[in-house]
Amino acid sequence: MNLAAKLESTLGAECVFQSTTLNVDGCRPVVTVAPKTYEEVAEVLRFADIEGLKVLPFGTGTRLHIGNIPKKIDIALSTARLNQVISYEPADLTAIAEAGVPLVDFFARTSANGQWLPVDPPGKGSTLGGVIATNAFGPLRTFYGTPRDYVIGLKIVAADGTLIKTGGRVVKNVAGYDLNKLFIGSFGTLGVIVETAFKLRPVPESESTCLITSRSIEPLAAVANQVFKSQLLPISTLLTDSRALKVCDVPTGEAKWGLLVRFGDNRKSIDYQVHKLNELVAEPNSIFQILDYSTASRLWQAIADFEDVFASEVTLRINTLPNRSAEMATAAGSHLKKSGMSSASIVHTSSGVVHLYIKSASENDAMTRRVLAMIEQLRAKVGDFGSLIIERAPLAIKQQVDVWGQPRGTAALMRGIKEKFDPKATLIPGRYVAGI
């Protein structure tokens, strides 16, 4: 009996798909399964673990481009059919949902009560489980942080099929180790997240977005840093080059850079903050404007999905200190310009995350070599207190460099954790950090 037939006999034919379009860096699963219950997830994993098969857990597959080239995938296991909101108690500001619930559906459910899980990662179809497994975030990170700050509990099916519960369902809890953290951002390498519990936040009453443009980045970076150190409470602060703004249909005139600052609160507070921000813009060549609501909404959506909007071929993410982020973006930008590559950058000035989006990187070998050389230089520049992750790249690049970079002194601990939780390396071997 072939693999698909075996899985069909366990899960039923409707949960098993032989023809699959899934392709992770040239690696194609033999079969895709979409179990309907936690027990079915456990059965698939137990089966794979015993048979020595390799499993790729995923939600809807919006972030499968992140990671090193997998060694092998036999079964792709989607959580998309685990799609029930289990409980939502508005007065507690908490909700429990299965991992396959799409973020947009979850948002629709909670926004009816003026509440939300305040994360806006790329990928419209992202599932809750996928967002947690990749700790994905978007422009709202400035004020709200990442999924790490909202997960209060998880249920995970471990590689051997054991169901593990971490955390709880209350908003404050220090009982035992905080194992939620271990699974957040683990990219499915330690277990399959099947259930999620979150604390929520009230949706701000109102919103305003300001755009400050300038020919040079320095005055804007200075304003961003002043805002960061001030009592103002923007929900998003992003520094972008004009190319990114143009792609998003925002006219920038002669300006080369734009600083986007978005406030969300009650009207009085927003008006006050917009006024204060305007006062901070001292440099005469900077232009301050308030975007109308529809332009702003379109822009934030386009920025969240910028990788697709720009059709990026190589996406780099640099993690650095907030006050070094603008400098990293300009260093990369001038490098790319010299190499004749089209690029755009978006800088989270308050968290120190820089995203670089590059096109035509894979045109020829010379281009690949230039990108690789740039990555090496940027990694050296980031230094000891940061990292550079290649979030998207063609195979030619992934074959020559570790997309994560090297962990500093913690590789043994990470491998130790993997060894304990997935001793047979059943879960997507080769994709993660430190060869995991």
Partner 1 sequence: MIQTAKGNSATTSEALNRKLPDSVLNSIRSIVGDANVLESDTEILPYECDGMMTHRYRPSAIVLPTSSDQVAPIVRVLAEHSIPFVARGAGTGLSGGALATNGAVVIEMARLNRILEIDYDNRLAVVETGLVNIRLSQAVNPDGFYYAPDPSSQTSCTIGGNVAESAGGPHCLKYGTTTNHVIGLEVVLPSGEVVRLGGCGADDIGYDLLGVFVGGEGTLGVATKTWLRLLPSPQTVKTMLIDFMSVEETSKAVSEIIATGIVPAALEMMDGATIRAVEASIFATGMPVDAAAVLIVELDGLEAGMDETIEQIKAIAEAHGGRKVYLAEDATERARIWAGRKGAFGALGRVSPDLMIQDAVIPRTKLPEVLSEVYRISERYNLRLSNVFHAGDGNLHPNISFDSRNQDEVRRVTAASKEIMELCVHAGGSITGEHGVGLDKINYMPLIFSDADLEAMHKVRDVFNPNNLANPDKVIPMHRCRAF
Binding residues for partner 1 restricted to 307-326, rule: CB under 8 A: 319-324
Q: CB of 96 within 8 A of CB of 116?
A: no
Contact between 94 and 198 under an 8 Å Cβ cutoff? The reply is yes
431 touches partner 1 (CB under 8 A): no
Does the protein bind partner 1 through residue 228 (CB under 8 A)?
yes
Q: How far is the CB of 192 from partner 1 (least distance, A)?
A: 14
Binding mask 135-174 for partner 1 (x = CB under 8 A): x---------xx-xx--------x---xxxxx-xxxxxxx
SS3 96: strand
- Nearest CA among 15, 28, 2 for reference residue 79: 15
Residues 323-342 that bind partner 1 (CB under 8 A): 323-324
115: contact with partner 1 by CB under 8 A: yes
Tell me how many degrees the CA angle 65-11-62 measures, rounded to the nearest 5: 15
Residue 14 to residues 3, 32, 168, 282, Cα–Cα distance (Å):
15, 11, 33, 63
Residue 386 as a binder of partner 1 (CB under 8 A): the answer is yes
Contact 333, 239 (CB under 8 A): no
Closest residue by Cα to residue 66 from 336, 317, 271, 381:
317
Q: Which two tokens stand for residue 105?
A: 């559906």
- Among 60, 78, 79, 94, which residue sits at the site for partner 1 (rule: CB under 8 A)? 94
Task: Name which position in 389, 394, 396, 401 contacts partner 1 (CB under 8 A).
Answer: 389
Stretch that binds partner 1, among 248-256, 278-286, 294-302, 351-359 (CB under 8 A): 351-359
Q: Which is nearer to partner 1, 144 or 300 (CB)?
A: 144
Residue 380 lies near partner 1 (rule: CB under 8 A): no
Q: Which of 6, 22, 85, 272 binds partner 1 (CB under 8 A)?
A: 272
State yes or no: residue 247 binds partner 1 (CB under 8 A): no
Q: Which of residues 395-424 bind partner 1 (CB under 8 A)?
A: 404-405, 407-411, 413-414, 416-417, 420-421
Q: Which 181-200 positions form the footprint of partner 1 (CB under 8 A)?
A: 181-182, 184-186, 190
Is there binding between residue 292 and partner 1 (CB under 8 A)?
Answer: no
Contact with partner 1 (CB under 8 A) among 71, 177, 293, 337: 177
Q: State the Cα–Cα distance between residues 341 and 350, nearest whole angstrom.
A: 27
Q: Does 85 bind partner 1 (CB under 8 A)?
A: no
DSSP states of 392-429: E--HHHHTTS-SS---SS-HHHHHHHHHHH-TT--B-T
Handedness of CA 249, 250, 254, 255 (dihedral sign): negative
Q: In the bound complex, what is the minimum distance in angstroms from residue 86's beta carbon to partner 1?
A: 12
Q: How near is the Cβ of 354 to partner 1 at its closest, in Å?
A: 9
Residue count of the chain, please give it.
436
